[in-house]
Amino acid sequence: MKKPNEIPKRKLYKTNEVCEMFDISRATLFRWEREGVITGPPRDWRNWRVYTAENIEQIKHVMSGGRKEVA
């Protein structure tokens, strides 16, 4: 996982960017969504996932060992 100051500050992130940031596979990211570990991100006009700052914070929490399901 990149250090917090290495994570670019933007409003939306693509799936591959999130995977690179946290050194996780797409399958892991999608599984966390499916299992409710993180909130499913919004989608763009192409129906592609676009991760928000809130999603990034949830992933940071999961990566630090806090693996609670989101409501």
What one-character-per-residue DSSP string does 9-56 give? --S-EEHHHHHHHHT--HHHHHHHHHHTSSPPPPB-TTS-BEE-HHHH
In a domain, 38, yes or no: yes
Domain with residue 55: its CATH number is 1.10.1660.10
pTM equals: 0.76
Confidence grade of residue 11 (pLDDT, cut at 50, 70, 90): confident
Domain count for the chain: 1
Residue of higher predicted confidence among 57 and 1: 57
Confidence grade of residue 65 (pLDDT, cut at 50, 70, 90): confident
What are residue 50's DSSP bridge partners? 14
In a domain, 25, yes or no: yes
36: left (phi over 0), alpha (psi -120 to 50) or beta: left
6, pLDDT greater than 90:
no
In a domain, 24, yes or no: yes
Domain span holding position 37: 4-63
| Least confidently predicted of 25-29, 59-63, 65-69 | 65-69
In a domain, 70, yes or no: no
Cβ proximity of 15 and 29 under 8 Å: yes
